[in-house]
Every structure is written in C-alpha cells, then in structure tokens.
Structure 1
Amino acid sequence: MQSVYEKIGGAATIQKIVEAFYPRVQAHPELKHLFPEDLTETMEKQFLFLSQFFGGPPIYTEKRGHPRLRARHLPFPIYPKTAEAWLACMASALQEVGMDEKVREEMWDRLVMTAYHMINQEHE
C-alpha cells in the first residue's frame, strides 16, 4: 500500500506545503509570536517531520532524534485556539498546494489529531 508521502509526490510536495504554510503562520496573530523571525530552521524541521510523519524516509529521526512532539512543544503555551489557528493555516496551505481530495482528507485527519494532541494549556 502506498504511503501518503508517495501519494502526494514525495519531498517536492512536502516542500510546497511547508513553503505555503509558514507565510500564513507569520501573518497569523495567534501564531506569529510563537515562531522565530527567521524561519529557515523551523521550515527545515517541519519538512523533515512531515516527510517522516506521512510515510516518507525517517529523516527527522535520523537528523534530530525521536520527534517527541508534545515534549518538544511544552515550552510554548498551546491553547485550543492555537491549535485551531495552526490548523487554519495548514488547511489553507494544503488547499494552495492542491492534491487529490481523498489524500488531503487522509492527511487532514492525522494533522487534526496531532494539533489537538499538542494542546498543553486550557485557558489563557
């Protein structure tokens, strides 16, 4: 069975998603303060993670160790509205990149689950 990574065209599409996503993050009032001004390293980490997360090569683990997403994000306050904002930016990025709707839905289900798993604060 083909992985999502393979279904979307691999690294090239992951890179397009990352490049479409981060300008939205930088412009979003709920998110921009959580990210550095220079997103070069952040975008590289996201590329590595999404590649591995969607069934591509384990390049995140090879370069950075186990993802441990929740633990790595604990220093940042992530509220339900933060997860919603992140998902809104990702939804727009996926739409911009364009792909088969069934594959996008498969990706979306995993992204939603992950975004809500990252919540570490209930109220501001």
Structure 2
Amino acid sequence: MPKCGGGLPYYTLTRGKPKMRAQPFSVITDERAREIWLGCYKHALRDVHFPLSVLKEYWQ
C-alpha cells in the first residue's frame, strides 16, 4: 500500500502531532449540515466502489 502524503514533516515538527478535534473548531454542525455531509460521504463511497456486501453494516 502506498504511503499517503509526502514532503517535509513541517507541521509535525513545528506544532506537534495533528489532533483535529483538539484544536478550536468554529463550525457548528446542525442537522442540515449533517445531512449534507452524509450525502457527500455516500457519493464518495460509491466513487471508490465500496463493497456493497459490507455497506449496510458499515453505514450503521
């Protein structure tokens, strides 16, 4: 499996290991935003040909 990313580890060297939710997060996710995000996620699963045999269990 190929490595993701590349280049210099600038962020890690200057700020430490990434912790996405530990950082201040100014976006509030309401029900409408949640539905939009999940819709985009469904499209992404289709685009990568996620196995239908496990999709239902994964989604739940």
Partner of residue 82 from structure 1, selected from 29, 33, 37: 33
Among 90, 95, 110, which residue is 2:46 paired with? Answer: 95
Unaligned runs of 5+ in 1: 1-10, 16-62, 110-124
Which structure's relative contact order is higher, taking Cα pairs within 8 Å and 6+ residues apart? 1
Partner of residue 107, structure 1: 58
Count of residues paired in the alignment: 48
Tell me the distance in 2 between the aligned counterparts of 1:103 and 1:89.
Answer: 19
Structure 1 residues 73 and 108 mapped into 2: Cα distance closer, same or farther (>3 Å)? Answer: farther
Closer, same or farther in 2 for the Cα pair 1:100/1:73, shift >3 Å?
Answer: farther
Identity %: 26
Change (3 A) 1:64 1:106: farther
Q: CA deviation at 1:78?
A: 1.2
SS at match of 2:29: coil
Name the TM-score, length of structure 2 as normaliser.
0.53
